[in-house]
Structure 1
Amino acid sequence: MRLVIPFRNRARNSKCCYSMPRLHYLGTLIVVLISYFGCFVPTTLAQQTDAPKTQFLEYLALAEKGDPKAQFMLGGCFLEGLGVLKDPAEAVKWYRKAAEQNFAPAQHNLGTAFHYGRGVKQDYEEAVKWYRKAAEQNLGEAQNSMGFCYRDGYGVGKNYFEAVKWYRKAAEQGMVEAQASLGLCYASGFGVDKDYAEALKWYLLAAEKNSSGAQQSIASFYAMGLVGPKDDGKAAEWFRRAAEQGEAVAQYNLGVHLKRGLGVGQNHVEAAKWFRKAAEQNYAAAQKSLGNCYQRGEGLDQDIVEAYAWWSLAAATVPQAAADRNSLADQMSPDQILADFKRAKELRILIEQALNLKPWKPQRTVYFLQP
């Protein structure tokens, strides 16, 4: 089976040419994790509690007296809109006050603000300055952010050895994102000798804490036989765990396993369901496969209009989708083709709207303390 290795910037729309679904194992292992572990979603105080107005006022009173923890918590209130209207610039103001008193969580969040330009002008070098101050105080989130910056060259020269050093510090403290990123470094040979067994060790630690990216990579290891004999059953199990968390590549790969009966009972209906979930996240390979399902009537009712529409969406990055769409068009009337164009446009709008509705999430950890 030929493995498809998408380029990094095409993780969601890899240029793959095929008529049957192919498993994107290395795409899962390398490309998705590079983007994913630079873009993780933490659990924040806003997701855990409703800070009342009185809590905000208590923080304000203490913060104005110079209490760094209160200043930090006040910054969080302004950042998340807890007891006060959201105001990222005001959050930065209070984070800075606490950071200048050497309060590590505030230093890290101030770095995050500079990294993504929230409430302050984007400045990667300034972000690294504050990340480093917090990391040197052994704050795991900041150590992880330092690893990210060194890996991708944000505010510092790209240096995989330094990235591994900082990821390891954070990973040894139990930081799930750092554990997964360290697994990626071992799997890819970034700053360390390639070692799949060591990569699996770190991926498993992260996966047990529900890291969907790590779960995808473990699935790839089993599917490719990188740490022992191939095991399609375990691969399907791990792809499912990641797919259920919304990872498009895992959803697509689970669909392939179900379609072919790899390690699971063959089930075209379930395969089409997972292809659709990935396709609706604009994953081109899944759009092509979903079009195939409609064209052949596999797992859902045959519908050449839907087949044409989904192939049209995938056509820009999957050449076979363009070829199949054009071949289908030769068999259709002008009215049918017009209906196809309308449906493809409708699907594109729906997908863009769904993707745009996803709330903004910080791409580095925003650190919170419990009140």
Structure 2
Amino acid sequence: MQAVIHSNEDVNWFEDAISKGLIKLFDYEDFSEMKQMVPTERRIFSNLVNSLIKLLLILEKDNYLLVMEYADNGTLRSYLEKNKNLTWEFKFKLAYQLSCAVSYLHYEGIMHLDLHSKNILIHQTSIKLADFGLSRRVNDVSEAHSEIYGILAYIDPQKLHDNTYRLNKKSDIYSIGVLLWEISSGRPPFEKVNPTSLPLLLDILGGGREKIIPDTPEVYKNIFTECWDHDPDNRPEITQVAFRLYDLYRPNIIIPEVVKPDVQSSDEQSSAGSQLIDHQNFNNIVESNTNINLFEKATKEIDSIINENLKNGKPIENNIFDYQNNHNITSQEIYNWLNDQNEPHLIFLRGCYNYYGIKTNDDYKMAFKLFEEASKQNHMLAQYYVGLCYHYGRGVMKDKELALEYFKKTADENFSSGQLRIGFYYRKKKDFNMAFHWYEKAANSGNNIAQFHLARMYKDGEGVAKDYNKAFQLFQKSAEGEHINGIAMLGYCYRNGIGTCSNKKKAIVFYQKAANLGHNRAQYILALMYESGEGVEKDYEEAFELCKKSAEGGYLEGMFTLAYYYCDGIGTNVDEQKAAEIYQKAANLGHSKSQYNLALMYENGEGVDRDYKKAFKLYEESSREVVEGAFKLGYFYKNGLGTSLNKQKAVEFYQKAVNLGHFVAKFNLALMYKTGKGVSKDYEKAFELFIESFIFIYLNYCIKEQIKI
């Protein structure tokens, strides 16, 4: 806390304001007995004052002490500078909070008169108003504070034009217009101009305003441009601003009239400074009991969403967001309510909001702490998530054996997701019998993910005799439960006749369904089927679009094929540069075929500048899995391309390619045995290799020309 020495003028200003009841005063002795509010009292009280930085003025003899509430995210300006990628939804939320705060001030007959982004604070993700140095009620006490304060860009142009102009509510509206623009852009107004310069003042007086940010929603733009209108009579009332922002923030709810809270001056409800309705209770302060019921219902539904999505593998956070949006509830509202709850299942839910980053960003440490707290009270889902945290090392040191212990606790209670996790553990250990046992238990409990993995074991004969019919039935059950991998595997079964008759059209149906749900391999397979006309009419454009989606999802085969499409102009225009770019991405991720094709492009100067050194390096990387890569290394060593000439190395890599069945490598190796370059001359070996390579070449020629042998 910083001590501040005030002038006599300031002291007189305070005393006048106190005598007229404009600032609440507590004597030092009033703080001799203090008690903590019980949770219910605290909830009711906080709903009334959350959007204002709370101040206490404490008097000890002739000394004044101001105590200010702490805001953990600093000023609005610094918050916007640090958070450049806020969604429009979140920007609308900040704008709405600001309008609610000022709306309540105006309702109470208070005007702030110095609104700018350096005296608006952010606590967690909520707006807090501060710095009431110019607010009208206090100004009415003393004319000593009638000069222009604040930052030029936010000041009512009427005041800039005429210093005798008396600032009013419409002056706050002008400042809000500038602030709404700042929230939309993420930067302060006229940041490249001296904020106190004469050119800026003249520009503002002449109607100059900041440029609208591209893609700003039209409705939002209209709100702030009306607010910063030069003529105060054209500016809207603050309640109109709040209502219109509310329509953007939570679009399908009608806002009732603002209700003034009935705040008594009892000890429990006293607050230093003016009091303000929480932005989330702007339209429902009289419906707190209804809200509690709403949150209780919402948390039960969300708990159910988590449980069900664990069984079918759907993204949990996406479904929670969907639920909140459909019921016009925000993550912050639920999280704030959860903060005051002590029941194990609600502590667990708060952990989930941190684990999945539903509130803000992922906070695994906080999530683990909350899961552990709930698990000690025997909350089964919390025990399962403690296991997940140990398994992945999220918020705690990775410990897979300890994770297994937590999964076993839930499995003993017949929790199918815990049983599935034990199956995963044994599958990785190559203990197929135990993996099969646990997969089967979870599958019998209706776990769609377990049904999928059990089906794979039947298909591959791991831990059980191979049984395609049983595999197909389990894939079908998994698909019926909407497990995306089960749906894709049904497509595979119909395409290849696994456990059922081959049916390309049905394969297309299930691959399409999985592709629509974002299954990247299904998108890739479907692209190949459209390219070749397998079970569907050929459609290169559709093949290209599907392959593009697969690649964008990070599927390496999809990326490789997309690059190939760009190279050959399949479903799109030929674009070798784009092809090289995509091959490079896949190559960086270790995809050997992409490394080989990119090496070819560097060797031939296609889509990139010719670079034998880069080509050599890429052939070297690809040779671990691609036989052509080994052959090319032999060729590069033989001719000294991208590396030093080395005949022995050439023989070594040609031999590696020959061992993997590369017949052109056989021909080249035969030449080296014939000439004795890099290897001792051996005509018999050379003749043997020539014969094998010629037979292969002749057979290929006959097949190509459809010549009967």
Give the structure-1-normalised TM-score. 0.72
Output aligned runs, 1:173-192, within 5 Å: 173-192=517-536
Structure 1, residues 193-228: CA drift from partner, whole Å, max 9, x if none? 111111111111111121110111111111111234
Q: Which moved more, 1:60-69 or 1:109-118?
A: 60-69
Q: Is the 8 A contact 2:631 2:665 kept in 1?
A: yes
Are residues 145 and 47 of structure 1, via their aligned partners in 2, closer, same or farther at CA, if it must alter by over 3 Å? farther
- The C-alpha deviation readout for 1:122-155, integer Å capped at 9, x for no partner, is 2222211111111011110101111122223332
* 1:113-132 pair list within 5 angstroms: 113-132=457-476
AA matched with 1:68: S
Residues in 2 aligned to 1:332 and 1:260: alpha-carbon distance in whole angstroms: 29
1:253-264 aligned within 5 A? 253-264=597-608
Q: Whole-Å Cα distance in 2 between the matches of residues 241 and 75 of structure 1?
A: 34
Q: Does residue 302 of the first structure (1) align with residue 650 of the second (2)?
A: no
Query: Counterpart amino acid of 1:197?
Result: E
**Conserved in 2, the CA contact under 8 Å of 1:152 and 1:158?**
yes
CA contact (8 A) 2:432 2:463 kept: yes
Q: State the alpha-carbon separation in 2 of the partners of residues 255 and 335 from structure 1.
A: 27
Q: Give the secondary structure class of the aligned counterpart of 1:301.
A: coil
Query: What amino acid is the match of 1:261?
Result: G
Unaligned runs of at least 5 residues, structure 1: 1-44, 342-371
- Aligned partner letter, 2:631: K
50-59 or 149-158: which moved more? 50-59
* Number of the residue aligned with 1:68: 416
Change (3 A) 1:322 1:238: same
Number of the residue aligned with 1:92: 436
CA–CA distance in structure 2, aligned partners of residues 47 and 183 of structure 1: 36
Greater Rg by CA: 2
Q: What's the secondary structure of 2:517's corresponding residue?
A: coil
Distance change (3 Å), C-alpha of 1:321 and 1:61:
closer
Instruction: Classify the secondary structure of the residue corresponding to 2:675.
Output: coil
Whole-Å Cα distance in 2 between the matches of residues 334 and 214 of structure 1?
A: 40
- Report 1:103-252 matches (<5 A): 103-252=447-596
CA distance in 1, matches of 2:618, 2:678: 32
What is the distance in 2 between the residues matched to 1:268 and 1:70?
Answer: 53
Change (3 A) 1:153 1:53: same
Contact 1:98 1:106 in 2 (8 A): yes
**What's the offset of the Cα at 1:333?**
7.2
In structure 2, the partner of 1:57 is 405
* Counterpart Cα distance in 2 of 1:335 and 1:319: 19
Counterpart of 1:322?
666
Is the 1:60–1:70 Cα contact (8 Å) retained in structure 2?
yes
Contact 2:419 2:441 in 1 (8 A): yes
Greater mean deviation of Cα atoms: 246-255 or 296-305: 246-255
Aligned to 1:366: none
1:269-280 to 2 correspondence within 5 Å?
A: 269-280=613-624
Amino acid at match of 2:542: E
AA matched with 2:448: A
Amino acid at match of 1:303: N
Tell me how large the CA RMSD over aligned residues is.
Answer: 2.4
- Whether contact under 8 Å (1:105, 1:134) holds in the other structure is yes
Q: Whole-Å Cα distance in 2 between the matches of residues 335 and 179 of structure 1?
A: 49
Give distance in 1, aligned partners of 2:460 and 2:391: 21
Counterpart code for 2:650: A
Task: Give CA-to-partner distance per residue, 1:208-258, whole Å, 9 cap, x none.
Answer: 121110111111111111234322111111222222222222211111100
Aligned partner of 1:353 in structure 2 is: none
Pair 1:312-2:660 in alignment? no
> Do the aligned partners of 2:672 and 2:679 also contact (CA within 8 Å) in 1?
no
2:650, 2:678 within 8 Å by CA — same for their partners in 1? no
Aligned mates of 1:335, 1:173 — CA distance in 2: 57
1:101 aligns with 2:466: no
Please tell me whether the aligned partners of residues 212 and 241 of structure 1 are also in contact (alpha carbons under 8 angstroms). Answer: no
In the TM superposition, 1:14-93 aligns within 5 A as 48-49=392-393, 50=398, 52-80=400-428, 87-93=431-437
CA shift, 1:176, in A, is: 1.5
- Label 1:48 to 1:167 Cα distance change in 2 as closer, same or farther (>3 A): farther
Contact 2:476 2:486 in 1 (8 A): yes
User: 1:115: Cα distance to partner?
Assistant: 2.0
Distance 1:271 1:54, change over 3 A: closer
Measure the CA separation in 2 of the matches of 1:295 and 1:151.
45
* Cα distance, 1:137–1:333 mapped onto 2, change above 3 Å: closer
* Deviation sequence 1:167-212 (CA, Å, 0-9, x none): 1111111112112222222122121111111111111111112111
Counterparts in 2 of 1:52 and 1:298: CA distance versus 1, 3 Å: closer
Paired residues of 1:132 and 1:143 also in contact (CA < 8 A)? yes
Query: Is the 2:544–2:572 contact (alpha carbons within 8 Å) kept by the matching residues of 1?
Result: no
- Relative to structure 1, is the Cα distance of residues 293 and 215 closer, same or farther in structure 2, using a 3 angstrom cutoff? same
Distance 2:421 2:666 in 1: 53
Q: Deviations over 1:282-332 (max 9, x none)?
A: x22222221111111010010111112222232364333222211121221
CA offset at residue 267 of structure 1?
A: 0.3
The residue type equivalent to 2:420 in the other structure is: F
Name the aligned partner's letter for residue 105 of structure 1. Answer: I
Unaligned stretches of 5+ residues in structure 2: 1-387, 686-709
Alpha carbons of 1:329 and 1:90: their partners in 2 closer, same or farther (altered >3 Å)?
same
Q: Offset of 1:52 from its aligned partner?
A: 4.4
Where 1:330 maps in the other structure, the secondary structure is: helix
CA deviation after TM superposition for structure 1 residue 265, in Å:
0.8
Separation in 1, partners of 2:501, 2:679? 57
CA shift digits 1:75-129 (9 cap, x unpaired): 2333335xxxx63312211221221222211111111221223322222222111
Q: Distance in 1 between matches of 2:477 and 2:567?
A: 42
For 2:240, the equivalent position in structure 1 comes to: none
TM-score of the two chains, using structure 2 as the length reference: 0.39
